[in-house]
Copies of this chain bind each other. A is one copy, B any other.
Amino acid sequence: MVSIWGTVDPMSTRAEPETDERALDLAYDVLQARCPSRLTLEHVTGRWGTLIMLALYEGPVRFNELRRRVAGVSEKMLSQGLQALERDGFVAREVLSTMPPRVEYRLTDLGLETHRRLKELAVFLESRMPEVEAAQARYEAGGNA
């Protein structure tokens, strides 16, 4: 049985009803286990994905400039994260054949729209951090420490 999202994944332990009912539902849904949109969401919201997306603003950015912007990221994770985002079409990568070599990353249109939404989320959360920290203090004090 093949769903609209490809072959049956052996990792899925859930007994999925093998009806073609789902084939009628062509909408992507991140809450569905094997929907491709879930993987893309993970690239954008993963541990480094969000931070890399947030660090991509104001025109092309070079690799080491990005490293500086995303404080704490390793070369490996930045490289892997950028590859995933490029693969999904959020980021465009341009190699300039200069000496020393220079590579520039910029958001695509899709990436820019995504960036705006992530930025909104980040700014919102930052603005509410006092409330979050108050909740944390209450939680610890409440015997859940």
Interface residues of chain A, those whose CB is within 8 Å of chain B, are: 12, 14, 27-34, 36-38, 40-42, 44-47, 50-51, 54-55, 69-72, 86-89, 110, 113-114, 117-118, 120-122, 124-129, 131-136, 138-139, 144
Contact = CB atoms under 8 A, between A and B. Distances in A.
Given A135-B88, A139-B87, A33 B72 contact: yes
B50 A126 contact: no
A51 B70 contact: no
Given A31-B55, A32-B71, A38-B51, 13 more contacts: A12-B72, A28-B127, A28-B129, A30-B54, A36-B132, A37-B122, A40-B129, A40-B132, A41-B121, A44-B125, A87-B135, A110-B131, A114-B125
Contact of A37 (B110, B125, B134): B125
Nearest to A41: B125
B126 A14 contact: no
Contacts of A122: 30, 37, 41
Give the top 4 A-B pairs by smallest Cβ distance, nearest first.
A89-B135, A33-B72, A33-B71, A45-B45
A interface SS class: helix
A30 B125 contact: yes
Contacts of A114: 121, 124-125
Contacts of A42: 47
